[in-house]
Amino acid sequence: MPEPRKTGPLRPVNPFLVQDPKQKARRLARALISDMLVYHPEKRQQGIRDGTLPQLFKDEIEKSWLEYVEQVGKDMAETTPFWTDALNEILSGGKKLF
């Protein structure tokens, strides 16, 4: 029976070094949306309270969307749910507003 091949110690995979385009796109969407919260926490609270979140963040969302498309490509951006998922999970706190 052949000996198992030794490949050295197993290292945990750093998610920031993963080359999978879908994982990169998902991570970028979440990072861009998270940045909106960092810079505009009061605006988010107001939008959730008043039910105007999509309107209040219209400019930030458009600007970040352009950055997202530029980095992941139009096809990836338009055929995956990562952007909308990040908006709903992060910006709207789990509510399906986008």
- Dump pLDDT digits (tens) for 68-81: 999 999 999 999 99
According to the model, what pLDDT value does residue 15 have?
53
Q: Which residue has the higher pLDDT, 4 or 65?
A: 65
- Dump pLDDT digits (tens) for 16-30: 555 789 999 999 999
| Crossing angle for the helix pair 58-72 and 21-39, to the nearest 10 degrees | 160
- Dump pLDDT digits (tens) for 6-18: 554 555 555 555 5
Does residue 54 register a pLDDT over 80?
yes
The pLDDT mean for the chain works out to 87
Residue boundaries of the structural domains of the chain: 21-91
Mapped to the 3 state alphabet, what secondary structure does the chain carry? Answer: CCCCCCCCCCCCCCHHHCCCHHHHHHHHHHHHHHHHHHHCHHHHHHHHHHCCHHHHCHHHHHHHHHHHHHHHCHHHHHHCCHHHHHHHHHHCCCCCCC
